[in-house]
Structure 1
Amino acid sequence: MPIKNIFRSIIGLSALLLVQAPAFAATPPPAMVCESCHGTAGLGTPNLSPMLAGMDKDYLVEQINHFKNGNRKNPLMSAMAMTLATPEAVEQVATFFASLPAPVINDIEKRGDNVIITDPARKLVYQGDWSRNIPACATCHGPSGLGVAHFPRLASQHADYITSQLTAWQSKQRSGDHNNVMATIAQQLTASEIQHLAQYFAAIK
């Protein structure tokens, strides 16, 4: 699809999101274009954009800069990131989305809460697979995938986005993670495991 058609679709979607989303703190000017895809509530849209609400501010700054320097590759997001011409603009965008409330998770599961886990995806989340040097996802991403500092929240994130990012780590379309941790882990996952992990985290509400 031509870029101009993508932008037309974004503008139309933006109008819909503005009607549906609740009002939060005033959007800083640099973040207004971001709302076109990610929504005024920062909850994103399946098959278009990820949820940003409640993400760690420093993580968001880091990811915007990865789009700017090519560590993350996405034609639309790279173009959007380049509109944030100063570190101050990047900081404003990150601070705004970090301040928005993410969906509340009431039933939180921690590593060790259950010793016997039969579901393969849940087993990877809370126990990992050390025969392949895969640590439990919860080790870094926290109980129920709620995120810990630079390790982003996965709970309630759109399944298609999680799938695309794990695949991007595998294909080296995404880089810049600390100590190459995620790229190393993603290389060990099968396509089926990626799909099931994405669905597992997306279903945490």
Structure 2
Amino acid sequence: MKIKTFVIGLTLCSGYAAAEPSDKQSMNVIPQAAQLCVSCHGAAGEGIEPLGPRLAGLSKEYISTQLQHFQAGVRQNATMMPMAMTLQGDGIEQVSSYFSAKPANDVKPVIRGEQVVFNDDTARLAYQGDWSRGLPACVTCHGPSALGGGLFPRLAGQQASYIKTQLLAWQSGTRKGDVDGMMGSVANKLTVAEIDALANYFANLK
């Protein structure tokens, strides 16, 4: 009798375990707060040109901070400001956790020995900067493979049009909220041609 009871109990426990969703399934469930986001940014945060930039690969901290900036009016965009205002309670936490968990393709710089191979002036700006103009390398803050981290967003694989519009916004002063005014200072030292070239360079770095 005791043996039968044990078998029944084991069967019930096994059935319960099978019903538990896997981690992969949980990651694919779009939280309610993020459901408005996918129409412009894609269900996997892949971005939809020209509606919304890529969110996959951005850090949770960066996404959360930008949403707070939109809510406070520090960062202004006619579409994003009202969207951000819909995120109440733990809405920002849900959105930033969901999209930051989405995988992004790894980016590996072209390396010969210990030296990165620079093909042109754009790559030199990205990896070395131009200290004669007080321009640090983009990778100084955005990481050696432009994968970003913390308050610094991923650039590799981001839409060229988005990178360009944001650099121009920093340049004109219509985008703010950067740490110590760093991005505004950098953007103001770049020419229009350099902005265009850098945007295309990082967009194609995959």
**CA distance in 2: counterparts of 1:165 and 1:117, whole angstroms:** 25
TM-superposed CA distance for 1:134, in Å, is: 0.7
TM-superposed CA distance for 1:144, in Å, is: 2.1
Q: Do the aligned partners of 2:44 and 2:102 also contact (CA within 8 Å) in 1?
A: yes
Amino acid at match of 2:183: M
1:45 maps to which residue?
A: 48
Q: Do the aligned partners of 2:110 and 2:117 also contact (CA within 8 Å) in 1?
A: no
Aligned residue among 16, 26, 38 for 1:35? 38
TM-superposed CA distance for 1:143, in Å, is: 1.6
TM-superposed CA distance for 1:46, in Å, is: 2.0
TM-score of the two chains, using structure 2 as the length reference: 0.82
**CA distance in 2: counterparts of 1:140 and 1:171, whole angstroms:** 21
* Greater C-alpha Rg: 2
Give the 3-state SS of the residue equivalent to 1:55 in structure 2. Answer: coil
2:148 maps to which residue?
A: 147
Q: Deviations over 1:38-79 (max 9, x none)?
A: 010100012221100121001110000111111211100111
1:101 maps to which residue?
A: 103
**CA distance in 2: counterparts of 1:113 and 1:179, whole angstroms:** 32
TM-score of the two chains, using structure 1 as the length reference: 0.83
Q: Deviations over 1:59-103 (max 9, x none)?
A: 1100001111112111001111111123x1111100000011112
**CA distance in 1: counterparts of 2:72 and 2:196, whole angstroms:** 29
TM-superposed CA distance for 1:174, in Å, is: 0.6
Question: Is 1:62 matched up with 2:62?
Answer: no
- Matched residues, number: 180
Give the 3-state SS of the residue equivalent to 2:28 in structure 1. Answer: coil
Give the 3-state SS of the residue equivalent to 2:49 in structure 1. Answer: coil
**CA distance in 2: counterparts of 1:65 and 1:175, whole angstroms:** 13
2:200 maps to which residue?
A: 199
TM-superposed CA distance for 1:117, in Å, is: 3.3
- The 1:65/1:159 distance shift into structure 2, 3 A limit, reads same
- The 1:114/1:29 distance shift into structure 2, 3 A limit, reads same
Q: Do the aligned partners of 1:38 and 1:50 also contact (CA within 8 Å) in 2?
A: yes
Amino acid at match of 1:150: L
**CA distance in 2: counterparts of 1:45 and 1:177, whole angstroms:** 25
Amino acid at match of 2:127: Y
TM-superposed CA distance for 1:116, in Å, is: 6.9
Amino acid at match of 1:34: C
Q: Do the aligned partners of 1:147 and 1:154 also contact (CA within 8 Å) in 2?
A: yes
Give the 3-state SS of the residue equivalent to 1:59 in structure 2. Answer: helix
> What 5-or-longer segments of structure 2 have no aligned partner?
1-25
2:133 maps to which residue?
A: 132
Aligned CA RMSD, in angstroms, stands at: 1.8
Amino acid at match of 2:40: C
The runs of at least 4 aligned residues of structure 1 exceeding 6 Å deviation read: none
